[in-house]
Amino acid sequence: MATRDLARGVAWLALLLVVPVAGARAGIVEIIDATGDGAGNVLDDPRGVAVDSAGNVYLTGDLSDNAFRITPSGTIAELIDATGDGAGNPLDIARGVAVGADGSVYVVGAGSDNGFRVTPGGTITEIIDATGDGGGNPLDGPKGVAVDPAGDVYIVGQDSHNAFRITPSGTITEIIDETGDGAGNALFFPLGVVLDATGNVYISGASGDNAFRITTAGTITEIIDATGDGTNSLDQALGIAVTASGDVFVTGTWTDNVFHIAAAGGILQVADASGDGSSPLDAPRYAAALPDGSVVVTGQASDNAFRIDAPVGVGPTPRLRLSLLGLTLCALALGALSFTRRVEKLPG
């Protein structure tokens, strides 16, 4: 135990040496609170979060029906409010948020059954409404949104059991519906939507206990179902994330677990209710991929979050997530110590 504590101490020392922080509690800074922008535009029940390449953070307020941008220097600006585009299309229950390569921000309204684009210049446009594609496929209760480098936007309708692609020119296409893959594997109450580096779309089906991959050619494949990895089941698939190498992670909110679906094939449970062995994982809900191939998963009922490595033998070998300086310090202090734990609780 003493050796492990030393390892952790050195690892954090390495991070502190390469990440300048100020204040008594290193590395933790409140960037926005209930006062919102401090100009009367409050933040109530924050839900969606996104970050752009410049380090700007975007947050949605579920009960305040709005979205904010927080710059690295701390400037806070409300981007959209309950009036939506100001032309009669309101924003109600702001949930998912995504940011495109051109700086445009996309926000979905779960209560107003629509989605908006906010350009860097501040122009707000409703890009989809409750009519969906206008061809009989409605949009109801959108929660998730993603955007690819070309500016194509993907929005899932939780209550309409479908997902749409909206091109920059405004063409709307339903890419999956309640029938799922059309082979008996249905899509029920989708929540999460993410994209990989090649443009494939991944969607989690909460009540279907499954997840799907939709290729750029439109081929739909169920990549995991309620049987999980064949030994450990999956129930209420909510969170979904995909790494740069194409590995997919899916959370089972009611089974208190996380599965890794390797790009090369193979499914393995990589976290369960025991969490990291000392702190439990209860009702994992959201997942986000980190640049190094690991993911962060939130425990809604356990009020915590964990960082999880891809497992050895079913995907890329986990890497120590330290800088070169950090690795050097660890080597000097710990010699040949091997870090074998696959799941570690995030500090703070």
Domains of the chain as residue ranges with CATH = 31-177 (2.120.10.30), 179-317 (2.120.10.30)
Rounded Cα distance, 299 and 255, in Å: 12
Q: What is the pLDDT of residues 241-265, one digit of tens each?
A: 999 999 999 999 999 999 999 998 8
Rounded Cα distance, 346 and 348, in Å: 7
Nearest to 67 by CA among 115, 102, 101: 115
pLDDT at 41 over 60: yes
What is the number of other CB atoms lying within 10 angstroms of the CB of residue 177?
17
The lowest-confidence range among 83-87, 204-208, 298-302, 332-336 is 332-336
Q: What is the pLDDT of residues 94-146, one digit of tens each?
A: 999 999 999 999 999 999 999 999 999 999 999 999 999 999 999 999 999 99
**pTM for the complete prediction?**
0.82
Q: Which amino acid is at 36?
A: G
Please say whether the beta carbons of 330 and 320 come within 8 A: yes
